Amino acid sequence: MVSDRPPVALVTGGSAGLGFVIARKLLDAGYCVVIVGRDSGRLDDAVGRLDPEGVLGTRSGKAEQSLACFSCDLTDATAVEQLIADTLNALERLDVLVNCVGASDRGLIETLEAERAEFLFRQNVITALLCSQKSLDALEATGGVIVNIGSLASKVGARYIGAYAIAKHALAGMTQQLRLELKPRGIH
């Protein structure tokens, strides 16, 4: 059952960079926002910057949380499952999942170490895969949306971006496959 509360967006990588900017824009648009990151200190700092007056925990005189944060290793399926459960427990619904976690790289493929490629694949693809998989039921209940943050590196080759291009190509392919698979479930 979908509540009559404002829509809820979960933004991975929301404590810094593009994820932080996306969280800010969603808050400005009236969404309840959950930001996720690995570092609790950075998350606390981000909450302070997103809500310097400390008022986002109250809406219309009622105690309604409109900004929350959770620390989570998004490469761990069990931790991601708990994250989604915690989000639903705190905010009752999930309307938007923004997969913004990622890691960049510099270097040449000819000198790329397999361990570095695996790390970048886990950060850029596996995190989005697990978050998407674990969110499907909640998103289906709201006719929700998954947004995977890609890169031009998935469209064109460039020198010196190493395994980043490999990972973003994989993310783009996964996103297209998800779009086709999830359309019948009402998830965009």
**pLDDT tens across 159-176, in order?**
778 888 899 999 999 999
Q: Closest Cα partner for 46 from 68, 74, 73?
A: 68
Please tell me the predicted confidence (pLDDT) of residue 127. Answer: 98
Name the residue type at position 156: V
End-to-end CA gap in the chain: 19
Whether the full predicted model's pTM is greater than 0.95, yes or no, is no
What integer pLDDT is reported at residue 64 of this predicted model? 60
67-88: average pLDDT: 97
44 CA to centre of own chain:
17
Average pLDDT over residues 74-89: 97
* Nearest residue to 12 (alpha-carbon basis) of 148, 105, 117: 148
pLDDT exceeds cutoff 70 at 17: yes
* Cα separation, 133 vs 74, whole angstroms: 12
Q: How many CA atoms lie within 13 A of 48 on its CB side?
A: 6
In DSSP notation, the chain reads ---SSPPEEEEETTTSHHHHHHHHHHHHTT-EEEEEES-HHHHHHHHHHH-TTS-TT-BTTB----EEEEE--TT-HHHHHHHHHHHHHHHS---EEEE-------B-GGG--HHHHHHHHIIIIIHHHHHHHHHHHHHHHHT-EEEE---GGGTS--TTBHHHHHHHHHHHHHHHHHHHHHGGGT--
| 104 exposure class (CB count in 10 Å sphere: 0-12, 13-18, 19+) | middle
pLDDT at residue 89 is higher than 50: yes
